[in-house]
Each structure stands twice: as structure tokens, then as C-alpha cells.
Amino acid sequence: MTIYAIGDIQGCAQSFDNLLEKISFDHTNDFLWLAGDFVNRGPDSLGVLRRLIKMEDNVTAVLGNHDLHLLAIFAGVRQPNTDDTFEEVLKASDSESIIHWLRHRPLLHYDKKNDRALVHAGIPPCWSLEQAKDHANDLTTMLTSVSWKNNLKEMYGNNPATWGPSLTKQERRRFSINAFTRIRYCYSDGTLDFTHKGPPRTHQKIVKPWYEFVRPENYKTHIYFGHWASLGLARFQNCTCLDSGCVWGRQLTAVPIDPPGNPITVLCDEDALT
């Protein structure tokens, strides 16, 4: 049995198939940890989602910002962007069951036995691990409730960018969604920054990556994340970035995490990248 961690697929179904073939994925024994952003920008978001649902027993997957964007459009609380590429998901005959599966994915997965976590973008330095788990569970409750469509109306916006006890429930949820699915950099006081997207050290006098901050309780949980294509595949002491930029014409990568092994990559193999 092998567990592989894979970053942002983003509608690159052919590359995903190629990667599964290259790692000789065994549906009877192997498992995938997927760091979100299954859809958008790539040419076959519907194909990716249908594959994942078919493989559900072998997949642990967390939501990314593009997945939430799809949910919000389906819910009618947000309009599509001109560069969105998941229209076929919205028009599919099985769209209801696909959206049901998608909104039941968590924002954070934690493996207590091995003290490792999976998230799309990161965990803000102001939270302990227990706080992060609590806030992720709250968001899952929100997304799986009967009023999930109305709840999504409060999802968008960059504020609040700083965590604090005076935040309302809606503000806490908006901060949490932004933290789990959009975080890259923070200011020295822990305020989230949504301006800078380049690789580390290009903005070192202003902000620094979320994973470089000292955390409450100084926990040693290893965090697997995606979202940061300009950072690329990168391994640090307590975290691993899995986004090797497939949708940008680069690579899709599987990192064996149990047992640990060297990354396995395939080149982007999509005919209609936008």
C-alpha cells in the first residue's frame, strides 16, 4: 500500500490519468491525498470530478478556492468569470450528485496517527492545530447544511484579514475560508496578504510565507498543501508544497508519503489549456 499526495489538478484530466498510470496506481491497495483545486482553467474539469467520485474509496480530498468558486456559481450566488472552464460540470446530467460530493469534502484533513495534515493553501500562523481543525469542521457543517447556498453568499471578500475575538460568525468563516484556500503570505502581525503571489524572497521586506512563522504550541505536524504554483514542488521541515503547475504547462506530481519516496512527475498533457 502506498499513499500519494498530489497537488492542484485543475481540470487536467489527461495528465492525471498519465500520472496514475506512471505510479501504477493500485485501486485495491493505494490511496491519494489531493490538495484541492480539482477544477477550472484546465480543459476537462468534469472528467476529473467523475474520476475522483469513481475512486472515492481511495481518495482523501480537500477543497480549494476554485472548487468553492464552482459551488458558489452552482448555488447562484456568484457569476462565472470569463476564464472559467467548468461550464460542462454545471450542464452535466449528473451535476447534482457531483456538487453533492464536492461540498461534502473537508477544508482540512488530519491524520492523527502520523501527525500530518492536508489543506489546499495553508494554515494561518495565529491558529493552533486544534483551532484549525475546529474552524475547518465549522466550514464543513456550513457547506453540508440545507442552507449551504445562502451561506456561500458570505464567502467572498478579503476582509477581515486579521483574526480576532471580536469577529462575527460570518467574518470568522470568511477569514477561515481565505486562510485554508488562499493564504500564501502574512505580515509580521499575522495579517493575511492577498496581494503577493510570487515565489518566496521576492517580497521579503514586506511579508513572508505563512509556513515560516512560529506557531502556537510549536506543533510539528507536517502540512501538505498546494495552491502556490510559483513556489512549485518544495519540501520544508514541516510542510510540503505539491503544486507543480500542471495547468500552467509544467508538471503534475505525486509525492509518496507512506512509505515516503521520491516525487514522481508527468509533463502537462492537455490539448486545450487556457
Report pLDDT for 272: 56
- Per-residue confidence (pLDDT) for residue 271, from 0 to 100: 74
d(CA 62, CA 85): 20
Residues 79 and 134 sit within 8 Å (Cβ to Cβ):
no
The amino acid sitting at 89 is V
At 82-135, the pLDDT tens digits run 999 999 999 999 999 999 999 999 999 999 999 999 999 999 999 999 999 999
Q: Which domains does the chain carry?
A: 3-267 (3.60.21.10)
- Coil/strand/helix, residue 61: strand
Whether 15 contacts 43, CB under 8 Å: no
CB 86 within 8 A of CB 71: no
- According to DSSP, residue 117 is labeled E
Query: In the predicted model, what is the mean pLDDT of residues 231-257?
Result: 96
Nearest partner of 148 among 192, 193, 99, 114, judged by Cα = 99
**Helices marked H in the chain:** 13-22, 45-54, 65-75, 87-91, 95-103, 129-144, 148-151, 169-182
**Tens digits of per-residue pLDDT, 44-56?**
999 999 999 999 9
pLDDT mean over 64-70: 98
Please, what is the average pLDDT of the chain? 94
Q: Is the pLDDT of residue 274 over 60?
A: no
